[in-house]
Amino acid sequence: MGLVVQSLWNWLLPDIMGWKMINYWQAMGLLILSKILFKGFFWNGGRWGNGRWSNHHWKSKWQAMSPEDREKFKQKMRERCSWTSPSESKEANVQ
């Protein structure tokens, strides 16, 4: 797989994006990094996939919440992460 990534990168990205060519070990590093970033450790089959952090755990918790609890949870996440809906952003700009 490292050779495939290296070949595709060196064939496409220097001409398209102007990026430098990479060697085999850099391609292997990209494979490992992409596994960590895109698959992560929390998906089923991952290191903790069948335990507390599985998607099933969170899906069942969400389904067990009342609509009011879900709204409270969303509001807390917005506050913690500074997430705002488009309507909230417009209201903040008007004031």
- Say if residue 40's pLDDT is above 60: yes
Residue 85's contacts (CB-CB under 8 Å, 6 or more residues apart) are: 78
At 3-32, the pLDDT tens digits run 999 999 899 988 888 889 999 999 999 999
pTM: 0.41
- Give the list of residues 6+ apart from residue 62 with CB closer than 8 angstroms, or none: 70
Confirm whether 82 is domain-assigned: yes
Determine the pLDDT at residue 57: 76
| pLDDT of 63 | 87
Higher per-residue confidence, 54 vs 6: 6
Number of domains in the chain: 1
In a domain, 61, yes or no: no
Whether 58 is in a domain gets the answer no
C-alpha span between 93 and 95 (Å, rounded): 6
Cβ distance 38 to 31 under 8 Å?
no
Q: Does 52 map to a domain?
A: no
Segments forming the whole domain that contains residue 28 = 2-43+67-94
What spatial distance separates the first Cα and last Cα of the chain, rounded to whole Å? 54
Could you tell me if residue 53 is inside a domain?
no
